[in-house]
Structure 1
Amino acid sequence: MSFPNKKTFSRKRSIITTITLWYSFFIFIILIAVVIASFFVSRTISETAGQRELQSQAIEMVEELDEDDDELEEFESFDDGIYYAIYDSSNQVLQGSFPHFFDAGLPFKPDKISDVTNNGRTFQYYDLAIANSNQWLRAIRVKNQMGEGLRTLLTSVIIVLPLVMFFVIVGGYLILKKSFQPIKKITATAQEITNKKDYSKRIAVSDKGDELTNLAQVINTMLASIDQSFKREKQFNNDVSHELRTPVTVILSESEYGKDYADTMEDAKESFNVIHRQSQLMKKMVEQILELTRAENKTQLTMETIDFSQFVNQFLEDSKRLFNEQSIFLDTQIEEGINLVGDPILLKRLIDNLISNAVKFTKDKIRVSLSQSENNIILSIKDNGQGIAKQELEKIWHRFYRIDSSRHTKGVGLGLSLVKEIATLHQAQVRVESELGHGSDFKVIFKTNR
């Protein structure tokens, strides 16, 4: 596992910077959209308010003129952004004022707000007849004139928007940087583990319970698994080296003796017999090591539904010669019609190793039983040998472990390890019940509802 160096990181944009740029961009777009929407909404509200003001002021002015004819002499032609003009019945201006570029000769349109554009400027005007006379009033406002409130709003936005973006970018960057501190710690720890090859080291886990905490826990679990694998592999290599050292030493010694010191054919044959026995032991050990390695590395099983009752019976039938040659009485109690989903090759190896183990240590009898309950299928292989001490029961499943009393004469200590591995691949359990002087009962318990 390799990590990029600091120069590589310097040439690449960090995640923090990338996230900051992206969310800043989207926030900027959102703020601009809000400003634009606010502008048009405010302008619409301003225009609506301006139309209402134009209409209400025109009505108020007409009422004043209607109440007192002297008001015509005190008539104000401009008030609060609205221009007023009085026309006679022939559409001639009697009095008033107009904004620049407004066409004073537009026809009379009673009780209606109208728009007109001239020289790039848009005007609104409202015409009302003056009661008890042949005159009428026209009120005019510049439509595209921005209101004071709207100008203040836009000015404020122009000033505040850069400040808001500055605080959003800086504040967001600092928050992200702080949030990513655990990732930096995880990276630093992983880098240290890689450099020092120390897989016993773990990442510090906080009690926050967030996603980074879960990530650290998962990585720690992975490191624990890797650490166990390395330790197991190291122990395995040490065990293999230790177990092979003895037969290799014996073979070298005997071959050297036969080459340099054997004077007769009998001496040479004796050396050859020793070499042959040790070679057979090494061959058996290598074969079981390869089988165990294949079983451990097998991720996919060739699963089939097999008649397990017939499967076990057939194996025992094929092994009759072995039992007869060693004068072993075989007692079988096999229930018929028991089906099991499993890998036939591995299951055969499992049964073979358990039978071979029983043959090595039994006195003269082996009982093989197969039964099925509601949830389990139980395969039991029991011998009447010397049994196993309680303190040894858990150790017998370890690689190369052999009980001292039989260490130099029987087996290489890998058969039961392979049995346990095959059972694990089939999600089954292995158990042993044993008592010194009363034999051992090895059981493999398969689940029927797998």
Structure 2
Amino acid sequence: MDKKFAPHIEELTKALGNISRSTIEAELELLLKYRVPIGEAKRSILKKFQNDSLVTKKVKDLAIGDKGVVLEVRILDIKEKDVNLRGDSATIFSGVLADETGLCSFTSWKTISLNPGDAVRIRNATVRAWHNRAEVNIGVRSEVELLEDTYLPDISELSVTPVKKLDEVGYSDMFVSSVAAVIELYHRDVNVKGKDLTIIEGVMADETSRLPFVSWSLLDGVDIGTILRFEDASVSMYRGVPSIHLNESTSVHIVGAEERLPFTFASVNVPPKPLPIGDVLQNEGMFDVSVEGNVVSVRPGSGVITRCPECNRVIMKDTCRSHGVVEGVQDMRIKLILDDGTGSLLVMLNRELSEIVYGKTLQESESIMGKAMSANVVYDDMKHILTGHYLGVRGNTSKIEYGVTFVAKSVWAPSGNLGERVSVLLERLEGVE
């Protein structure tokens, strides 16, 4: 097809997010063949495919990058704001919307006349990342319809902070209440807007999961082993992992020993049990989890590397994309693919863990490279030594554009025998054809 139509195809592909580019191109080519003007052809394609491209979702199921989304929600908060877009002033509308599954921020780039409490159907919205969260974008091609009769709960009910287990906390939670035990705790001095503060950071856990937390005020009487009941804590997201923030508006109480709970400090202060890799791949991000599997591949980029001393990025020929020519710092890492039969996962090992599993230090590896006069000799040696080995890793996961990445904090060789591993795998695969 003539390249001059490429911008029109690109525009239609963006507007019809769930319709393939090849389908749009074929449809446009057919219409142009019959001498339909390009403007009319584009309107015809939009009209034909728009309904097919739309997907109805609940708030909790929204994912960054979604297009053509249909939502039935209630407006909890809305504000009008004047902004500067490419030198031109514009008015946008932003706020918070919700359904029975959760809350989400939104921005409308078109004029909408809505008030808190209004129930609406939003069609053809997109979802973008904003402050590490999913945010609904209402564009010029989106439609907003007021709903008279709706199943949606009242605004007073939707505004109540939900009580959740830690494994239920996610993108659709801006505030949460829960009960959890403090299993890690330390103090850190920070400077916020010129003011020196001491904050508390750590990890809390219940019987379902564990999450990092931050307290912006000192917690009297709280230490490792304390069980807390907190209400109206804010939730921040980083690489798909929620973090609990206890601030001035959060109510925090120490749970007494007389109260019966489904967990104790001792029961949750244990290493996490290995999860099937297939389950890990279904999550946007997970905190402090472990997996086990066979090393099926050691990826390029493993071995001795050079980092920028300013931003820690991997650099080539002592040149950083952000800081120009720098005196690089030598480092070591291993990028390996771990597979347990339910899925495969990219695992990143830092220098310390790489030296453990490879069996050679950074200095020894540099010596090998010098003697061989080859930058790839260490990478090739890593592939020879590690491929086929069975490893366990513990750390955090995050989902990026190219899939899920596991950043390991510890690594080990599991002691279980092959028969046990086969039995576990057969149990996982039972009923799968």
Q: Could you tell me the TM-score, scaled by structure 1's length?
A: 0.19
- Find the structure with the greater CA-based Rg: 1
From the two aligned structures, give the one with the greater strand fraction.
2
From the two aligned structures, give the one with the greater helix fraction.
1
Q: Could you tell me the TM-score, scaled by structure 2's length?
A: 0.19
